[in-house]
Amino acid sequence: MGAVEFSCDLSQQGTELLHCWEHTVGSCHAPVALRADWQQQLRRCHSELGFRYVRFHGLLSDDVGTVARHNDEWWYSFFNADQIIDFLLSIGMKPFVELSFMPTALASGSRTVFHYRGNVTPPKDYQQWSRLIHALVGHWVDRYGIREVAEWFFEVWNEPNLKAFWTGTRKDYFKLYRVTAHAIKEIDPSLKVGEAGDGA
């Protein structure tokens, strides 16, 4: 291997190195955020590495218990989701909310992904999906305040361009996005849907 030469002009002005990697860390499946060992590890990641947001799949999946239907009645429970958010806020982090996967009560099909069987089909009733999103985000605004929730990011689904994660068409996804964004913005226009972080 030949010699390599480097040169550095110290008279040039430097530029700031933005720590974009500190913005968000991924954490796969939402229910693991209820485990003590996960919480201990995330607390350390935040304190030592500076991570500010965390994103995970399946916040609306059945194992989080967000919505169920019995006869013609819809039942919402945000207890587990709240426990996750409460912990994040308690250590100075915030959620990067991925709104997925489809609860069985709302699903148009049975196709799933991953070992926890996240349903990747469109809603059979977009109006009921809208009501769920409005109820969930409205609940968080009531619980944590609009100033807090306005600092979160809301993402509609996970990688809908990949067949593994979305069985609907592009048109179906655009409808899901439109309905979801409207439900969230109806609560407060300052809420961020599909907007990128500052990267700093």
Domain locations in the chain as residue ranges: 21-193
Rounded to whole angstroms, how far apart are CA atoms 4 and 150?
50
Three-state SS at 101: coil
Band the pLDDT of 88: cuts 50, 70, 90: very high
pLDDT score, position 1: 66
Are the CB atoms for 165 and 157 separated by under 8 Å?
yes
Note the CATH number of domain 21-193. Answer: 3.20.20.80
pLDDT tens digits along 102-128: 999 999 999 999 999 999 999 999 999
What's the mean pLDDT when you consider all of the chain? 93
pLDDT tens digits along 19-59: 888 899 998 899 999 999 999 999 999 999 999 999 999 99
Rounded to whole angstroms, how far apart are CA atoms 103 and 86?
22
Mean pLDDT of 159-179: 96
**Token pair of 41, please?**
């590890």
Are the CB atoms for 108 and 53 separated by under 8 Å?
no
Mean pLDDT of 89-93: 98
Tally Cβ neighbours within 10 Å of residue 34: 13
Band the pLDDT of 195: cuts 50, 70, 90: low
**Token pair of 191, please?**
């809420």
